[in-house]
A and B are shown apart, each in its own frame.
Chain A
Amino acid sequence: MNQWQNFSKGFIKDNPVFVLFLGLCPTLAVTTSAYNGLGMGLATTFVLVMSNLVVSIIKNLIPGKVRIPTFIVVIASFVTMVEMLTEAFVPDLYEQLGIFIPLIVVNCLVLGRSEAFASKNNIFSSIIDGLGMGLGFAMALTVLGAVREVLGSGSLTLIPDVLEFTLYQGDGMLVFVLAPGAFLALGYLIMLADKVKKKMY
């Protein structure tokens, strides 16, 4: 597999959210706007790339039996860093994402890539894999956030005050910003992603 395929598989072919169904808790919970989805996606990407890097460096030093706890400690350290960084630099996002930032540590996507990819491959491929999977995850969250925001409140926020659009005035379908809308929107998007994947591969 060349590095381009390794990078691009996370977007459609093995998209963590739409195809592999990994990391669904933050996907559903934080995507009330495109900005929140993007923020969560980028935070997860950072943790994914860094933990893949460290795991692939130390893969030969870890005894097989304590593999999983070691991965969890590595991941948890980077999650703590992300928690402190978001609190310091983007406090409004930190407020919005709340409990789901510490919960990146139990995101099955991150642990899954450590176990399935980084512990078997070299450093460079592991970084590329983390980057591709992370950005695929971020893309899925942004798309879901955008759909919910447009249908629910009629606006689209990619970066507050910089890239912010109002698409229509008046009340949107409020249910899409609330909890049930997350399930419904994701259900339809998975259906659509399946169609796109079948067309492309």
Chain B
Amino acid sequence: MDYLIIVISAIFVNNIVLNRFLGICPFIGVSSKVETALGMTGAVAFVMTLATIITYLLQTYILEPFGITFMQTITFILIIASLVQLVEIILKKVSPPMYQALGIFLPLITTNCAILGVAILAVQSDYNLLESVIFGIANAIGFGLALILFAGIREHLDLMDVPKPMQGVPIAFIVAGLLSLAFMGFSGIV
């Protein structure tokens, strides 16, 4: 039951993009087509899940026993940066088609605050290993849901007659605001 609450809360109630404001750069940057949104979601899901596991182990078995939790920010970001590099190298060797699909999104992920944010949130919420993994996956799904919904809306928006001063980024933010308003309907479920 606890696991279900984590999942529902991460995807709908505290949606990582629309409620916690993490990962806004890719949300605005790569959401003009559904196809690229799918690619980005795949890459984020992959790295986010791995990063949550590794940062959990790092926090529990190295930082806490040695009393150096103030090093959290530096170590986490270095782990994530090297993880992204590693994933890139492995994907290139093992699965070239997947590398083709996700390749260009991987370097962007290092500075995606959603990854570091979810890792820190998982540590702050005192989750155990399984809960952290579930939290990571659920947040990746939440990110994907918001990104793909938004990309779908933006594809339609291209065909609309938007007032000239609002074209481009301003209307994207206003649409995101309306989407976030819709997601507020879920608050109170958990």
Contacts and interface: CB of A to CB of B under 8 A. Distances in A.
Nearest to B173: A187
Given A99-B121, A183-B177, A28 B77 contact: no
B22 A73 contact: no
A21 interface: yes
Contacts of A29: 20-22
A123 interface: no
B165 A191 contact: yes
A24 B177 contact: no
Contacts of B24: 24-25, 28
Given A21-B28, A179-B18, A179-B19, A72 B177 contact: no
Contact of A188 (B70, B73, B116, B170): B170
A183 B120 contact: no
A106 B115 CA distance: 10
Interface stretch (A4-12, A38-46, A53-61, A74-82): A74-82
Given A69-B78, A80-B73, A80-B74, A187 B113 contact: no
B184 A179 contact: yes
A195 interface: yes
A24 B180 CA distance: 16
A187 B171 contact: yes
Contacts of B172: 187
B73 A79 contact: yes
A187 B166 CA distance: 8
A47 B25 CA distance: 20
Contacts of B113: 25, 103, 106-107
B152 interface: no
A170 interface: no
A175 interface: yes
Contacts of B70: 80, 83-84
A47 to B, nearest CB: 11
Interface string B139-179: 00000000000000000000000000110011111101110
Nearest to A30: B21
Given A21-B28, A25-B113, A183 B180 contact: yes
25 contacts: A21-B28, A25-B22, A25-B24, A25-B25, A25-B113, A83-B70, A99-B121, A102-B72, A103-B22, A103-B120, A105-B73, A107-B113, A108-B111, A111-B111, A179-B18, A179-B21, A180-B178, A181-B177, A184-B174, A187-B169, A187-B173, A188-B170, A190-B170, A191-B166, A194-B170
Interface of B: 18-25, 28, 70-74, 77-78, 81, 110-113, 116-117, 120-121, 124, 165-166, 169-174, 176-178, 180-181, 184
